[in-house]
A and B are shown apart, each in its own frame.
Chain A
Amino acid sequence: MTLLSIENLKTHFFTKAGVVKSVDGVSFDLDRGEILGIVGESGSGKSVTGFSIMGLVDAPGRIAEGSIRFDGQNLVDLPEPQMRDLRGRRIAMIFQDPMMTLNPVLRVDTQMIEALRAHGRWSDDDARQRCRDVLGQVGIPSPEERLKSYPHQFSGGMRQRVAIAIALLHQPDLIIADEPTTALDVTIQAQILFEIQKLVAENNTAMIWVTHDLAVVAGLANRVAVMYAGRIVEMGTTDEVVNRPAHPYTAGLIGSAPSRNARGTRLTQIRGMAPLPMNLPTGCAFQPRCDHATGACAVSPDASTLEGDHLVRCHHPLVGAFDRGTAA
């Protein structure tokens, strides 16, 4: 059952220097209980997509076009009080940098209880009990003591667990996780991934997992969307996208990930730099960095469907050309 349906979302920043088209025509659907991975280089518009869903795009940015349907409601023109009622209760977000997410001058219990009370009456005892339970769920030892601590008394991994606990407080229908493990070391990252996967499965929560690390997404997501310069250039099941990438950019991402390569082979590299959203090349935005580019690429490609739901936005999709392990 479709929970979230985004149609041609365009979120632009109208800065003094010009219009930054951070998200420029993104569409995807998400079912209840499904995990969608969004992958892309820095600046490709992943976070802005997440903030657009939350209704938290900072000025001078705004949603210029498109619709975000969540459980039947279009969030784009939802009045702020209704949007606020959804935030935290039905849609929660976990941020990129755990060191910056919690307010440094407020105790953890203050920050958790206020999140509960934003959406209903909670007695002190009930609220504390709920906080303890959720902190326990995300693997924080002795929650009672930890509730009385300030964020600086926690390690980065523990802080991110607290942020995740806050996101889970109301058992939301949708969690947007914006690279929640990027800032953490690998073992902590694996633990948190494992726990989140378990919790999401238990509650049938839908999740958008933003990352620039395909390896993380491969073990977690049902489907993957690859973003480049504000657009989804490829989307499909995790198996399709990771093992049979059709877009040269996706293939490049996979080729440059160490874990995906046979030992001793050289890592490939996508040449050039990600374009600035201020001055995108006309036509396909990836064209200047692409080995397969031809004259046709001067025209922006439409999305085309390969087998199943595998969607790609490219004039020369690499159907079957890429075989993992040997392509490098």
Chain B
Amino acid sequence: MTVFIIRRLLQSVLVVAVMTLLVFAGVYAIGNPVEILISQDATEAERAAAIARLGLDKSLPEQYLAFLGNLVKGDLGTSFVFGEPALQLVLQRFPATMELAICAMMMSIFIGVPLGLYAGLRPESIAGRTIMTGSIFGFSLPNFWQGLMLIMLFAVILQWLPAGGRGVRGEFLGIESSFFSWDGISHLILPAINLALFKTSLVIRLTRASVRETINLDYVKFARAKGLRPRRVIGLHVLKNIMIPLVTIIGLEFGSVIAFAVVTETVFAWPGMGKLIIDSIFQLDRPVIVAYLIVIVCLFITINLVVDILYAILDPRVRLADQKA
């Protein structure tokens, strides 16, 4: 177990190193941030001073080495645009995105698993077919369009919910979050639904497929042959087995929800990391881009680790020690 985690962490360091190298080269190839950051009518001297201040007067390898040196000290550089530490900028936005992602993921689990279970147990029923047809819509309608339609319907026509922004946060046990105030929740609902729709469809289809596959297996029939009630056969024998693929996929999807949040955050003016990264890319604000990606990579690594551990808990046949990291 410990060996497993250490091996994972070493791999992560490697991933971060490769990723930062790519981002440095990538941003360099796209263009020179100086052109965007410094006004057209600045003097030559002002220009040179600005370039020196941003550290852009050095060669790319030199810049990269300097970055690595600071990285070891925990310093990810200062934003070209805001003049604030890049990591701090990203982390400030981190809770907003996590709120959205957790809320969306919860929705897709608590809606998707029961619906998928139903559709898997009664595939021929009208409700079962309706669920599957519905999930195709969730899959195929473009995310941004779904978002706009949600705004049209619930914010503009019905005026039930606000169209965008994050609202006032509440405080509970010293934690500040949208979950703890009605205004916060009302701002959270639409973007969370928007983000959840695709994932819900995915969870429905995955659950249904796993149920269809499991339900015909001998051990389920044997459980019934013991005289168990359907609730126990489904709730324990089937569910515990389909949890194995579900946890894996949901875990991995959680990472992609955070990445997908970019579109939703833009549509709903949600002040999260996604919006920050879009703005930063437009302005070639390299330190922020790098900081964002490092945070995301760390997040993915943590999620994968948690998934692997859960996997080993759920499936007694898996042992972490034997697993190739």
B223 is an interface residue with CB less than 8 A from chain A: yes
On whether the beta carbons of A87 and B226 are closer than 8 Å, the reply is yes
- Mark each residue of chain A from 101 to 118: 1 if its CB lies under 8 Å from any CB of chain B, else 0: 111111100010011001
B-side interface size class:
20 to 34
On whether the beta carbons of B228 and A56 are closer than 8 Å, the reply is no
Chain B, Cβ-Cβ closest to A54: B225
B317 is an interface residue with CB less than 8 A from chain A: yes
A89 is an interface residue with CB less than 8 A from chain B: yes
Q: Within the assembled complex, what's the spacing in Å between the Cα atoms of A114 and B316?
A: 19
On whether the beta carbons of B317 and A88 are closer than 8 Å, the reply is no
Q: Provide the residues of chain B in CB contact with A240, threshold 8 Å.
A: none
On whether the beta carbons of B225 and A92 are closer than 8 Å, the reply is yes
On whether the beta carbons of B241 and A103 are closer than 8 Å, the reply is yes
Q: Within the assembled complex, what's the spacing in Å between the Cα atoms of A68 and B253?
A: 51
Q: Provide the residues of chain B in CB contact with A166, threshold 8 Å.
A: 226
On whether the beta carbons of A101 and B244 are closer than 8 Å, the reply is no
Known: A101-B219, A105-B241, A150-B317. A87 touches B232 (CB 8 A): no
Q: Within the assembled complex, what's the spacing in Å between the Cα atoms of A252 and B280?
A: 81
Chain A, Cβ-Cβ closest to B219: A103
For chain B, residues 280 to 325, give those with C-beta under 8 angstroms from any C-beta of chain A: 314-317
On whether the beta carbons of A150 and B229 are closer than 8 Å, the reply is no
- Mark each residue of chain B from 232 to 252: 1 if its CB lies under 8 Å from any CB of chain A, else 0: 100011001100100000000
**Of the residues B227, B232, B236, B241, contact of A104 by C-beta under 8 Å:** B241
**Of the residues B218, B226, B227, B240, contact of A106 by C-beta under 8 Å:** B240
On whether the beta carbons of B225 and A93 are closer than 8 Å, the reply is yes
Residue from A103, A114, A115, A118 with most neighbouring chain B CB atoms (10 Å): A103
Chain B, Cβ-Cβ closest to A152: B317
Known: A95-B218, A114-B232. A103 touches B227 (CB 8 A): no
Residue from B219, B225, B236 with most neighbouring chain A CB atoms (10 Å): B225
Q: Provide the residues of chain A in CB contact with B222, threshold 8 Å.
A: 93, 95, 101-102, 163
A-side interface size class:
20 to 34
**Of the residues B216, B219, B227, contact of A115 by C-beta under 8 Å:** B227
Q: Within the assembled complex, what's the spacing in Å between the Cα atoms of A114 and B227?
A: 9
On whether the beta carbons of B229 and A118 are closer than 8 Å, the reply is yes
Q: Provide the residues of chain B in CB contact with A86, threshold 8 Å.
A: 227
Q: Provide the residues of chain B in CB contact with A93, threshold 8 Å.
A: 222, 225
On whether the beta carbons of B236 and A100 are closer than 8 Å, the reply is no
A323 is an interface residue with CB less than 8 A from chain B: no
On whether the beta carbons of A106 and B236 are closer than 8 Å, the reply is yes
On whether the beta carbons of A87 and B227 are closer than 8 Å, the reply is yes
Chain B, Cβ-Cβ closest to A119: B227
B18 is an interface residue with CB less than 8 A from chain A: no
- Mark each residue of chain B from 242 to 280: 1 if its CB lies under 8 Å from any CB of chain A, else 0: 001000000000000000000000000000000000000
A97 is an interface residue with CB less than 8 A from chain B: yes
- Mark each residue of chain A from 290 to 309: 1 if its CB lies under 8 Å from any CB of chain B, else 0: 00000000000000000000
Q: Within the assembled complex, what's the spacing in Å between the Cα atoms of A101 and B218?
A: 5
Chain A, Cβ-Cβ closest to B238: A103
A125 is an interface residue with CB less than 8 A from chain B: no
Q: Within the assembled complex, what's the spacing in Å between the Cα atoms of A45 and B223?
A: 22
Q: Within the assembled complex, what's the spacing in Å between the Cα atoms of A93 and B227?
A: 11
Known: A103-B241, A105-B315. A85 touches B227 (CB 8 A): yes
Chain A, Cβ-Cβ closest to B232: A114
On whether the beta carbons of A152 and B225 are closer than 8 Å, the reply is no
Q: Provide the residues of chain A in CB contact with B218, threshold 8 Å.
A: 95-97, 100-101
Q: Within the assembled complex, what's the spacing in Å between the Cα atoms of A114 and B232?
A: 9
Q: Provide the residues of chain B in CB contact with A58, threshold 8 Å.
A: 216, 221
Chain B, Cβ-Cβ closest to A88: B227
CB distance from B172 to the nearest CB of A (A): 37
A130 is an interface residue with CB less than 8 A from chain B: no
On whether the beta carbons of B225 and A56 are closer than 8 Å, the reply is yes
Chain A, Cβ-Cβ closest to B224: A56
Q: Which residues of A contact B (CB under 8 A)?
A: 51, 54, 56, 58, 84-89, 92-93, 95-97, 100-107, 111, 114-115, 118-119, 150, 152, 163, 166
What are 21 A-B contacts with C-beta separation under 8 Å? Answer: A58-B221, A88-B228, A95-B218, A96-B218, A97-B218, A100-B218, A101-B218, A101-B222, A103-B223, A103-B237, A104-B219, A104-B315, A104-B316, A105-B240, A105-B314, A105-B315, A106-B240, A118-B226, A118-B228, A150-B316, A152-B317
Top-10 shortest CB links A-B: A88-B227, A100-B218, A87-B227, A88-B226, A115-B226, A150-B316, A118-B227, A103-B219, A93-B225, A101-B222
Q: Contacts A88-B227, A105-B240, A106-B236 given; 19 further ones with Cβ under 8 A?
A: A56-B224, A58-B221, A84-B229, A92-B225, A93-B225, A95-B218, A101-B218, A101-B219, A103-B220, A103-B223, A103-B237, A104-B241, A104-B317, A105-B241, A106-B240, A114-B226, A118-B228, A118-B229, A152-B317
